[in-house]
Each structure stands twice: as structure tokens, then as C-alpha cells.
Amino acid sequence: MKTLRKEWLQLLILAVPFCAVALLWDKLPGQMPMQWDANLHPVYYEPKMLAALVLPCTNVAIAVLMMVLPRIDPRFASYDAETKASLWHTFSVIRRTTTLFLSIVAVMVLLMSFHPAFPLTPILVVGLAVLLMIYGNLLTKLRPNWFFGIRTPWTMESRDVWVKTHRLGGRLMIGGGFCFLVLLAPPIQPYGVWVVLAVAAFMAIVPVIYSYIVCARLRRG
């Protein structure tokens, strides 16, 4: 009961898409889109039972998984109290923001069944940009752990390497969030997929290389 009271916001976030499905069930078409192309045009359909519930159910599974992972961290018991509190706070923010984004997308997908021209792209772009900024801010303060963060052989070897790498990686993610907002500009939209791939590759590769460089310098020092 104490856990339910503590997680009332998370439960509310998860419940909204299911409530939307229940309210709109009789009005939903028998076949709903399940896949879209790069321009968000439907290319594949499934019966509404599957299409309407797959994303809300996936959202619940992600929330449960993110609540369980910290508990099975083999190093968690050895962390000091401050580190444990910091990690729990970080995990909670990541879990709630992620499930909030997925809940919004699930509701938007339902609305697209009635209005195929519904402007989902700007919502997705802004949502992903905000998520990147939130994740990036959290990443700059993330303590070493077994499951979350930039886990390379070099960050796992040294706390100093972990801290420096995550400060850089977090700032890159915040910058990536601002870059995603550029996708809303009409001249950039035709190249949106390439911009996303370039930004994602930059954010993924640079911190890995940086962690190796920092570790090598510390070993020489």
C-alpha cells in the first residue's frame, strides 16, 4: 500500500492510455495502423485489439523493468547511502519521463485513427528533444552503477573516468535535444532522418572514445 501511494503519479501515467482505449473502443476502426514510414504514413495495419493495446502494455512492461533493475544490481548493496539515494532519484525520473512520453504517443496514435492528418511529427520531435535534455541533465550527475549510463570497460574501471565521461555525454545529449528541435524547421524536415542518425551517432561514439582517452591519460599519470 505504501508503494502504491508513493507511485500514484506513475500509476496515473500508465492508466491514461488504457482509459483512452476504453473510452474510444467502440469508435475505433477494426484495423489500425501499426507501422509508419519516415513521413508517418501508415504502411501496415493490425486488428484494433492488438494495435490499440500494444503500446500501453509495452509501457507497463518498461515501467516494471525499470523498477526492478536497480534491485538486481549486484553492486547496489555496497553503495553508500548518498549514492543509493541519488541512483533511486535518477531511476525514478527516467522511468516517469519515459513512460509519460510513451503514454502521450499511445494516445496520439489513437487520435490518428480518426484523423490521419493529425500532426504527430511535431509532438514526437518535441517529446524526444525534451527527453534528451532531461536524460542529459541526469547523466551529468549519474553515479556509477551496473545498468544505467555509458558503460564502457574504461568507465567501469575508474570512477574518475565515469564522472568525466558522463559529464561530457550528458552535455552532448542536451545539445542533441536542441538539435532535434531544428527538425521542426521546414527547410530541414526533408533531411530529418539523416539529422537524427547523425546526432545519435555523434552522441553514442564520442563518449566512448573520450572514456578511452581519459582512462589512458590516468594510467600514464
Q: Is the pLDDT of residue 3 over 70?
A: no
- Encoded amino acid at 128, one letter: L
Q: Is the pLDDT of residue 39 over 80?
A: no
Q: Is the pLDDT of residue 44 over 60?
A: yes
Question: Which of 193, 10, 34 shows the shortest CA–CA distance to 106?
Answer: 34
Which range has the worst mean pLDDT, 41-45, 59-63, 69-73, 124-128?
41-45
Average pLDDT over residues 173-202: 83
pLDDT of 45 reads 77
Contacts within 8 Å (CB) and 24+ apart, 14-21: 14/56, 14/59, 14/60, 14/63, 14/99, 14/103, 16/103, 16/107, 17/55, 17/56, 17/59, 17/103, 17/106, 17/107, 17/110, 18/53, 18/56, 20/106, 20/107, 20/110, 21/52, 21/53, 21/56, 21/110
- Where exactly are the structural domains of the chain? 1-115, 119-221
Q: What is the pTM of this model?
A: 0.84
**Tell me: the pLDDT tens digits for 83-107?**
788 888 888 999 999 999 999 999 9
